[in-house]
Amino acid sequence: MDKKRKFSSPLVDGPEQAASRSMLRAAGFEDDDFNRPQIGVASTWSMVTPCNMHINDLAGLVCDSIDANNLKSVLFNTITISDGISMGTLGMRYSLVSREVIADSIETVVGCQSFDGVVAIGGCDKNMPGCLIGLGRLNRPSIFVYGGSIRPGANHSDLVTVMEGIGSYTSNKISEDELIAIEKTALPGPGSCGGMYTANTMASAIEALGMSLPGSSSQDAVSEEKKIDCKNIGAAINNLLDKDIKPSDIMTREAFENSIRVIIALGGSTNAVLHLLAMAHTVGVTLKIEDFEEIGKTSPVLADLRPSGHYLMSELNEIGGVQPLMKMLMEEGLLNTGCLTVTGKTLEENLEDVKAYPKNQKIISPVSSPLKKDSHLKILKGNLAEEGAVAKITGKEGTSFTGKARVFNSEEETLEAIYNSKINAGDVIVVRYEGPVGGPGMREMLKPTSAIMGKDMGDKVAFITDGRFSGGSHGFVVGHITPEAAKGGLIGLLEDGDEITIDAIKGRIDANLSDEEIEKRKKSWINPKPYTKRGVLSKYAKVVSSASLGAITD
């Protein structure tokens, strides 16, 4: 049997498979196609979001490239949802759930159709980890293609500009007409959100992991570069088939360490912790939440990118993208250079001819003078997070905070209080019952954090939740608190006025309550948000693990 056709051969070879071939002929197969390795192309195209509206155009280029390399492409679709559109609504409960649906659907189609290799193309936040989890489960020659970043809007704006504009409007700093003007010009066309938010964080993480072609993570969605990236896929997947290089050969413990260091250098999203844990689990790599803290001790923040910084991904791409950053880290001994990648070469070989950033650029600081000498992603533990919590602490908002709890049982209650100026300096905003089980679905808190920034309170309050934060969130924020409220965690027992201390230096988050008081509250606790009884949210709540394990479902 042809080693490149080890999955498709039993499906199409021999007289007994005539019926299978007959159906494939109806789907466009010709005689020669049955002798070619079949490559499934998973497209996350959808008109529900600008992140993915162009992806079938890219998928067409990918398929043409595959076919030109004496392979047979077979295009199929999986879903996407829009985090940005559903943000602040109950629809956002489906966001993290979609990661699992994407992974499950790619595994299901490829497994059933017996493709010899897979190319997955993703745009919005959950597409990327969803695709990688699916590819990891299947473990056959595979490549991920990023749909690309959106270009900057008018006046250097993006989606978070609009979100923070809502906070400015509710504070009477801008008029409704001014807010609408921002809304109409912030997003000029296709592509994922433009800062170092979750989509660009995960694209960069996957490039550093070795699962996408070099340079692909920073390219604009609408660009010749992105088209060329897609046209190079056919030769790359053919090479992987020749050498039988699989995701498990690439997604090693050392490669995950590289990925973590790169997203720290870029100032990436807290969601990367959740997703990388899940991706590692899929390929049997032991990666724990504590590893992010340990690796972070020697990983500097170098990028002045939004949300905490100034620049957008398009601007980083103009000076060379992520590759020169990786070469800087490699030269400082901060990357594992021998890791295999989808080029069939090692990381060191891929970076050999990469040129340094221009001398006058202001986006990436040298390792010798970082924006922050260690990670902005802090893993906190304490009586409020016995299993761990993830904080985004850039240093701009300080490294510790003690204040009085303002407790809310949903994001909606929180937004109402912020918009109506019911939050005061010194408050610790507590949003609970928004975890993987309690949501269900672990909603992101971009609207409330953006409203806080829009009211110029980012350095005056802290915000903690058992839910998540968007990559666009900034300020003194702590998410992924585990155990979550719905599972009996202490965050579910807090009351207004309780004193909370967050110390990023010591890595602690504690409610200043006596053990006796905590036990007393545990005995009287009743979950105020019973689980959803039917549908995908119900199934998700029943099987999903703790956020500290990556909210995995298998």
Rounded to the nearest 5 degrees, what angle is found at the Cα of 395, between the Cα atoms of 319 and 279? Answer: 65
Distance CA 554, CA 545 (A): 9
Distance CA 284, CA 136 (A): 9
Distance CA 517, CA 514 (A): 5
91: helix, strand or coil: helix
Cβ 373 vs Cβ 478: under 8 Å: no
Q: Using alpha carbons, list the distances in angstroms from residue 156 to 161, 175, 458.
A: 9, 20, 21
Torsion of CA 391, 396, 398, 401, to 10 degrees: -60
> Which of 7, 109, 119 is CA-nearest to residue 55?
119
Is 168 exposed, middle or buried, given 0-12, 13-18 or 19+ CB atoms closer than 10 A?
A: buried
Q: Is 470 tagged catalytic?
A: yes
> Which of 90, 193, 37 is CA-nearest to residue 443?
90
Rounded to the nearest 5 degrees, what angle is found at the Cα of 279, between the Cα atoms of 478 and 292? Answer: 40
Cβ 385 vs Cβ 482: under 8 Å: yes
Distance CA 45, CA 5 (A): 28
Cis peptide before 483 (omega within 30 of 0): yes
505: helix, strand or coil: coil
Active-site residue identified among 73, 470, 546, 548? 470
Cα Rg for the chain, rounded, in angstroms? 23
Q: CB 193: neighbour CB atoms within 10 A? A: 28
> Which of 348, 346, 355, 266 is CA-nearest to residue 313?
266
Helix (H) or strand (E) holding 508: strand 508-511
The residues annotated as belonging to the active site are 470
